[in-house]
Structure 1
Amino acid sequence: MSNGDDEAADDAEEAADEQADAGEAEETALSADTLAQRLDDAEESLEAAETEADLDEVEEQLNEIEADLEAADLPEPDEDDEDAEDPAAELEDRIADLRDQLEDQRGPYADDVVAALEEAQSTITDTRWTEDGRPDVVTAVQSYLGTTAEQLDTELSAESDDPEDLADAVDQAAQVVEGSALDPDEDAETIAALLDGAETLQDDLKAAEEWDDLTVREQLDAEGFYDVLESGNRKDFPAEWNAVKVYEELGEVEPIVKALETFDSDFMEENVLDTLWRMGPEEAYDAVHQRAQKRNKRPVEILGKIGDDDAAETLHDFIDGDGDAALQKVTLRALGEIGSEDSVEPVAQRLDADNYEIRSAAARSLGLLGDTRAIEPLADVLENDEANEVRASAAWALNQIGTERALDVLADYTDDRAYLVQSEAEKAV
């Protein structure tokens, strides 16, 4: 072998040794013990940190250690040994713990103060305060404005005790804090005082009495619901029901609807619905319609009394198919009372129902609707239906429609086998 070949071989061997040494060094650098030692160093740096810059350096240390841990080929724990240690998991837990300590040690920042004030502002405007709670809200806001004045030498005040004005004052305080360019290191004490004051404001607002803190009776009492009761009937039980009866006599619908929406009582709901059925007030439409959508019969009856065409579309769904016969009969009656021309076709389709009571209710509903398009379907019922009760209802309906064609159809049945049909036919003649 020539000298040149010897030198090349030596160079190759030397390069291999260097690569092996580098691999061993990297393996050493990425061993569990080495990574743990680096975490010890980062923890010491964290304990000694005094400025945000110091904390930034610690965070960079943790980022590097975490990256090296991901690259390290650490031994896997023995799956068959429940007590086997997992070096990678333990190191990950330490990194997460140090990151939590790092975040705890940061700040406080002016942004933290602004966020707390924005939350307080929303609480003031979004909450319905009681008469007793409002003074506490005013005091809480004024106290924080005093803190702002003390820490930032800025005088702020609310234009009035109205919640909107109080919230505006808190917003102004937040803008002052945000525009003061407070440094988390140099102004740490000022920021801490402002944040403590903002958190106290939040706590004071939570402690102030709001509408939802009151019981139902207290809410209604505050709104004057019981004011119609005199000493003689106030003591009667329950007072709420006596108040509803008084409001019915006075023709005042709003308090009655309020009672329906407020009391979680089957007794009160049943009696209030009975009251609204007797009154049939348009003002109760929304509350009653909401309950009718649950296919409750009494609200359906009330919708018929109210007579609003908007309810017809909802009620059409209740007569589709042969389900609850009682509900269908009530609904057919209500549709007739409402009188929407859109109801003629869906009601006429129920003249073919298997249940004769539903057919009868459909015929009477068509009579209430009074639409001439119902004459021929009613004539077919009068001629072909096997149930005399249904035929009698059809005869009654034709009389209700009352046009010449309707009465001509009916006049042919003066000698009908059913007395009620004869009676209606004689009226037509």
Structure 2
Amino acid sequence: MSNGDDENAEDADASEETTALDADTLESRLDDVESAIEAAETEADLDDAEADLDSVEADVEAADLPEPEEEDEESREEQLTSRIEELRGALEEARGPYAEDVQDILDEAATKLRETRWTEDGEPDAATAAETFLDAAGEELDADFSAASDELEDLAAALEDVGETIVEGGSAVEGGLDPDEDAETIDALLEAAEELETGLEDAEEWSDLTVVEQLRAEGFYDRMNSENRKDYPPELTVIRVAESENDPERIVQALEKFESDFMQENCIDALRRLGSEEAFDIMHERAQKRNRPEIEVLGKIGDERAVDTLVEYVDSGNPPLQKVTLRALGEIGSEDATQAVANALADEQSVVRSQAARALGLIGDTRAIDPLSDVLGDESEENEVRASAAWALVQIGTELALEAAAEYDDDRAYTVQVEAEKARDASAA
């Protein structure tokens, strides 16, 4: 049971809460926050204004404000919420600047100096932009932030040193720069840092050049002259000159830069003819996408590092891919591929079985003699496949392999007879 005083107190509290959550009162409180932001002189002042703004926002969310009379009319809650967002923007603009803002720009600039590939003209421009900032920072803080040298790595380290000094403190700045006490200094450094940022953006990067400009700068066209320039486009002349001079690196360079099918095909054809080790990395990378021309080149290169990749395609069920892969594995000649290639002797497609047999002959692993002999002796097998098996046995060339092939010198298939006679002649020699 309550007395009258208690009821009066509850009514008073309810009345005060209603007043606090009244739309006009909330609007007035936002006016006070706006005035506080405009009058703020320190970060602490802004913190207080932000706390008041948070309080008003919470009350707006809790208030039971009237709905608008018209459907397309903005409600008081929406009006108040919109103004709160505007005041938060004003609050953010009023804060700072902070030393951390400067440090962020300097860290990004240091990373750009280190990781960007600059052109011959761009590198000195980038260095000048960094040196200009370091001079400005030294003058503003009455300190020496000179880099150890004019190398980009040393300039990047010097920029990071300035950023660390103004945030964490050092001999030039005790305890770091304070956003209230050192606002003018931070402003000046921020302006200089933004000029540094602009200077680096304006400095010419390698990626700013066209492909032709990049290649010209790298000397790609140096071997081309009026006497050997017979092809169009001129880049084709460069490829042919490079091939004639056994210069696979220049061809790989073109392969990486020119995307047209025409140039790609000519570059790969040249690399196939050269079979140079220098082309292995890019051919191996592309071969992992099951590109048949690149797999052919890997066969010509003959590097055993490709075997693990290629053996996975032997049972792919794609005859054109299987054929080129088996041929490449045979040319590479690694016995690590013997089992996978021998398994292909049972493939559904005769062209694959035939190529598998020939690949085993090129590899020369004596473990293949028995499966090849089985294929040769299989009367139901197609003659093309049996002839390939006989050829492979001759290529392996051991006494056992030659004996297995020589037995078929009167075979029904002329192509098998030819290989059997070669085996008999080799055995007699």
- Fold in common (TM above 0.5): yes
Partner of 1:304: 299
The Cα RMSD (Å) is 2.0
Please tell me the residue identity of whatever aligns with 1:51.
T
Whole-Å Cα distance in 1 between the matches of residues 20 and 344 of structure 2? 86
CA deviation after TM superposition for structure 1 residue 84, in Å: 4.8
CA contact (8 A) 1:392 1:421 kept: yes
Please tell me the residue identity of whatever aligns with 1:150.
E
Partner of 1:92: 81
Q: Provide closer, same or farther for how the CA distance between residues 322 and 123 of structure 1 changes in structure 2, counting only shifts above 3 A.
A: closer
CA deviation after TM superposition for structure 1 residue 252, in Å: 2.2
Please tell me the residue identity of whatever aligns with 1:159.
A
Say which of 26, 29, 32 aligns to 2:23.
Answer: 32
Whole-Å Cα distance in 2 between the matches of residues 235 and 131 of structure 1? 31
CA contact (8 A) 1:233 1:239 kept: no
Partner of 1:183: 178
Say which of 76, 98, 102 aligns to 1:113.
Answer: 102
Structure 1 residues 9-50: Cα deviation after superposition (integer angstroms, max 9, x where no partner): 7x6233123212211221221222221221111112222223
Partner of 1:203: 198
Q: 1:300 is paired with a residue of what secondary structure? A: helix
Q: 1:232 is paired with a residue of what secondary structure? A: coil
CA deviation after TM superposition for structure 1 residue 297, in Å: 1.5
Whole-Å Cα distance in 2 between the matches of residues 256 and 140 of structure 1? 37
CA contact (8 A) 2:316 2:322 kept: no
Partner of 1:192: 187
* 196-205 or 58-67: bigger deviation: 58-67
CA deviation after TM superposition for structure 1 residue 235, in Å: 7.5
Partner of 1:56: 47
Partner of 1:170: 159
CA deviation after TM superposition for structure 1 residue 76, in Å: 6.0
CA deviation after TM superposition for structure 1 residue 75, in Å: 4.7
Structure 1 residues 39-66: Cα deviation after superposition (integer angstroms, max 9, x where no partner): 1111122222233232122112112212
Please tell me the residue identity of whatever aligns with 2:82.
D
Q: Provide closer, same or farther for how the CA distance between residues 16 and 262 of structure 1 changes in structure 2, counting only shifts above 3 A.
A: same
Aligned pairs (5 A) from 1:263-278: 263-278=258-273
Partner of 2:410: 415
CA contact (8 A) 1:305 1:334 kept: yes
Whole-Å Cα distance in 2 between the matches of residues 52 and 43 of structure 1? 15
Whole-Å Cα distance in 2 between the matches of residues 393 and 333 of structure 1? 13
Aligned length: 417
Say which of 412, 423, 426 aligns to 1:428.
Answer: 423
Aligned pairs (5 A) from 1:9-88: 12-75=3-66, 82-88=71-77
Q: 1:227 is paired with a residue of what secondary structure? A: coil
Whole-Å Cα distance in 1 between the matches of residues 222 and 248 of structure 2? 15
Please tell me the residue identity of whatever aligns with 2:237.
N
Say which of 387, 393, 397 aligns to 2:388.
Answer: 393
Please tell me the residue identity of whatever aligns with 2:228.
N
Whole-Å Cα distance in 2 between the matches of residues 234 and 164 of structure 1? 42
* 238-247 or 354-363: bigger deviation: 238-247
Whole-Å Cα distance in 1 between the matches of residues 342 and 227 of structure 2? 53
Question: Identity of paired residues, percent?
Answer: 56
Give TM-score, length-normalised by structure 2: 0.91
5+ residue gaps, structure 1, are 1-8
Please tell me the residue identity of whatever aligns with 1:69.
V
CA deviation after TM superposition for structure 1 residue 197, in Å: 0.6
Q: Provide closer, same or farther for how the CA distance between residues 77 and 333 of structure 1 changes in structure 2, counting only shifts above 3 A.
A: farther
Matched, 1:353 2:344: no
CA deviation after TM superposition for structure 1 residue 220, in Å: 1.2
CA contact (8 A) 1:315 1:331 kept: yes
Whole-Å Cα distance in 1 between the matches of residues 300 and 98 of structure 2? 63
CA deviation after TM superposition for structure 1 residue 135, in Å: 2.2
CA deviation after TM superposition for structure 1 residue 377, in Å: 1.5
Structure 1 residues 217-271: Cα deviation after superposition (integer angstroms, max 9, x where no partner): 1111111111222332357532222222222222222222111112112111111
CA deviation after TM superposition for structure 1 residue 299, in Å: 0.8
Please tell me the residue identity of whatever aligns with 2:220.
F
5+ residue gaps, structure 2, are 425-429
Matched, 1:155 2:124: no
Aligned pairs (5 A) from 1:224-373: 224-234=219-229, 236-323=231-318, 325-373=319-367
Whole-Å Cα distance in 1 between the matches of residues 66 and 285 of structure 2? 65
Whole-Å Cα distance in 1 between the matches of residues 71 and 356 of structure 2? 75
CA contact (8 A) 2:277 2:301 kept: yes
Partner of 1:101: 90
* 269-278 or 147-156: bigger deviation: 147-156
Whole-Å Cα distance in 2 between the matches of residues 349 and 417 of structure 1? 26
Whole-Å Cα distance in 2 between the matches of residues 53 and 326 of structure 1? 75
* 206-215 or 149-158: bigger deviation: 149-158
CA deviation after TM superposition for structure 1 residue 153, in Å: 1.4
Q: 2:228 is paired with a residue of what secondary structure? A: helix
CA contact (8 A) 2:390 2:416 kept: yes
Structure 1 residues 145-175: Cα deviation after superposition (integer angstroms, max 9, x where no partner): 2211321112332333321122123223323
Please tell me the residue identity of whatever aligns with 2:267.
V
Matched, 1:221 2:216: yes
